[in-house]
Chains A and B, each alone.
Chain A
Amino acid sequence: ETGVTQSPTHLIKTRGQQVTLRCSSQSGHNTVSWYQQALGQGPQFIFQYYREEENGRGNFPPRFSGLQFPNYSSELNVNALELDDSALYLCASSLIPGQENEKLFFGSGTQLSVL
Chain B
Amino acid sequence: GEEVAQTPKHLVRGEGQKAKLYCAPIKGHSYVFWYQQVLKNEFKFLISFQNENVFDETGMPKERFSAKCLPNSPCSLEIQATKLEDSAVYFCASSPGRESPLHFGNGTRLTVT
Q: Do chains A and B stick together as partners? A: no
List chain B positions with a Cβ less than 8 A from chain A: none
